[in-house]
């Protein structure tokens, strides 16, 4: 099958085709479509992802919400879910994987474990990547509403991170955002140095 252009952009960024990337692609398209139907397009969008795996690379590429811009928030819940919010209205939509829609193939899982342990043969490796690709294609052909639940949400976001002047850490002498430093026995320390010093029991 020929891959959609916007999916190819996700693959270029991520480095390979995999089921997680496909799910991120599907969830993001689903969420952005909902927002366009319900909200003005020029409102600033924020993404809140609930895992830090392949999924989130597709979210960043398609939504333009990126780690570096500060409109990409990670919550470590271990769920295949993402919320898209409008910063102006604090309203948005959460997309989460339906419970039984992606049963994993036992053979696929077994091969994956072998590869992780480092004792897969070349043959098994090839078989794994074939199954991996087959599964990705299957997921890509599904309609997003078959895979995900979608629900409107309201959420108050923390204010945007501001750019602030740096101060110099008294230990490592590296410039550090002032709000991220700590005071320790009258010295200004970056978190890394503060942790090292308290680790030494000083």
> Given the rule CB under 5 A, which residues bind Zn ion?
18, 54, 169, 171-172, 190, 193
What are the Cα distances from residue 61, in Å, to 58, 66, 117, 148, 168?
5, 8, 31, 20, 35
Residue 136 DSSP SS3: helix
What CA–CA distance (Å, rounded) separates 139 from 82?
Answer: 17
Give whichever of 153 and 172 is closer to Zn ion, judged by the CB atom.
172
Q: In angstroms, what is the minimal distance from the CB of 172 to Zn ion?
A: 3
What CA–CA distance (Å, rounded) separates 130 from 139?
Answer: 14
Q: In angstroms, what is the minimal distance from the CB of 41 to Zn ion?
A: 29
What CA–CA distance (Å, rounded) separates 136 from 23?
Answer: 9
Strand partners, 166: 177
All residues at 6 or more sequence positions from 170 whose CB lies less than 8 Å from its CB, including other chains: 187, 188, 189
Q: In angstroms, what is the minimal distance from the CB of 80 to Zn ion?
A: 13
Give whichever of 40 and 172 is closer to Zn ion, judged by the CB atom.
172
What CA–CA distance (Å, rounded) separates 83 from 88?
Answer: 15
All residues at 6 or more sequence positions from 174 whose CB lies less than 8 Å from its CB, including other chains: 168, 190
Q: In angstroms, what is the minimal distance from the CB of 57 to Zn ion?
A: 7
Half-sphere exposure of 129 (CA within 13 A, CB side): 8
Give whichever of 22 and 85 is closer to Zn ion, judged by the CB atom.
22
Q: In angstroms, what is the minimal distance from the CB of 194 to Zn ion?
A: 8
Give whichever of 18 and 56 is closer to Zn ion, judged by the CB atom.
18
Find out whether 172 and 57 touch, Cβ atoms under 8 Å. Answer: no
Give whichever of 35 and 190 is closer to Zn ion, judged by the CB atom.
190
Q: In angstroms, what is the minimal distance from the CB of 193 to Zn ion?
A: 3
Give whichever of 54 and 85 is closer to Zn ion, judged by the CB atom.
54
């Amino acid at each position: 099958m020929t891959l959609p252009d916007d999916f190819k952009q996700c693959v270029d960024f991520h480095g390979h085709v995999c089921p997680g990337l496909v799910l991120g692609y599907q969830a993001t398209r689903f969420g952005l479509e909902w927002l366009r139907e319900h909200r003005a397009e020029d409102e600033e969008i924020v993404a809140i992802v609930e895992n830090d795996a392949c999924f989130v690379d597709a979210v960043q590429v398609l939504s333009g919400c990126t780690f570096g811009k500060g409109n990409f928030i990670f919550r470590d819940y271990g769920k295949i879910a993402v919320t898209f919010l409008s910063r102006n209205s604090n309203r948005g939509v959460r997309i989460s994987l339906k419970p039984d829609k992606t049963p994993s193939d036992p053979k696929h899982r077994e091969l994956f474990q072998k590869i992780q342990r480092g004792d897969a043969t070349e043959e098994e490796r090839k078989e794994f990547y074939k199954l991996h690709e087959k599964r990705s294609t299957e997921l890509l052909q599904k309609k997003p509403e078959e895979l995900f639940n979608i629900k409107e949400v309201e959420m108050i976001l923390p204010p945007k991170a501001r750019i602030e002047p740096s101060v110099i850490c008294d230990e490592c002498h590296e410039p550090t955002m002032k709000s991220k430093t700590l005071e320790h026995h009258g010295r200004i320390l970056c978190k890394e140095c503060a942790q090292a010093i308290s680790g030494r029991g000083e």
